[in-house]
Amino acid sequence: MAYKTCVSIAETTPKKIQSALRKALQKSDYAEIRFDFLRPEYVPEALHLVQNHLRRCVCTLRPKSEGGKFDGTEQNRISILKLIAEYRPYLLDLEFSAVSKNKPLLEYVRKTGTHILVSWHDFKKTPSFSTLHSRMQKMKKFSKNIKIVTMANSISDATTVLSLYRKQDEGLVAFSMGDYGRVSRILCMSLGSPFTYVSLGKPVAPGQFSVDEVKSIIRLQK
């Protein structure tokens, strides 16, 4: 089993993204660029600065309605997502709600040759296994690459999310947020996740480990 990491980068200027990305890719297999932390007009410059590294990047433009920072119109967000897709990153994170409602966006991204990571989050709770499994089946219609993340309010919640790996062969990134979900960020890799999300230091999401912490844990398991 390959234990791989993806450093989440949430910077507010193109230069800071470029600098953080260089550091991230020295330590990590992949990096996630959170473009929603940028002002929209800065995105083209950021893409230009990091274009040579995008084949190792997951690109995300998360709206406020989905727990992100982007607060512009959905029409503007879709235009930016299309631009990012043209740079052909490793994966383009598209929310399940977005791909479900916007077939033209899905078709456009596919025509660029960019692979899609369909994501779904619950920032308050963890639904039942049957609910999560049903959601996963619907997400698989759009891509084999799926991300399901919930808030764990107990160890049982984390176990529920990890149980999804029994029903998915590859391409599933599933874990829980929060203190109760921390262990799932490690265990997901041994269950088949292509990578786990980490930070360079300060967590970008609740319960997130740093890349150094996860690398230390991986070394202990070898």
- Go through the domains of the chain in sequence order and give each one's CATH number: 5-221 (3.20.20.70)
Q: What is the mean pLDDT of residues 67-94?
A: 97
The residue ranking higher by pLDDT, 196 or 2, is: 196
Selecting among 15, 138, 147, 202, the annotated active-site residue is: 147
What is residue 207's predicted lDDT score, i.e. its pLDDT? 87
Residue 146's contacts (CB-CB under 8 Å, 6 or more residues apart) are 117, 118, 119, 136, 139, 140, 168, 171, 172, 173, 174
Catalytic residue status for 69: no
pLDDT at 70: 98
Catalytic residue among 15, 121, 141, 144: 121
Beta bridge partners of 177: 151
Reported as a pLDDT band with limits 50, 70 and 90, residue 221 is: low
| Percent of the chain residues topping a pLDDT of 90 | 90
Whole-prediction pTM value? 0.94
**14-27 tens-digit pLDDT:** 999 999 999 999 99
Q: Does residue 121 carry a catalytic annotation?
A: yes
Q: Would the pLDDT of 172 be above 60?
A: yes
Q: Please check whether residue 176 is in contact with residue 155, taking contact to mean a CB–CB distance below 8 angstroms.
A: no
Percent of the chain with pLDDT over 70: 98
Q: Which residues touch 145 (CB under 8 Å, ≥6 apart)?
A: 91, 115, 116, 117, 118, 171, 173, 194
H/E element holding 104? Answer: helix 103-112
Element (H, E) at 57: strand 57-60
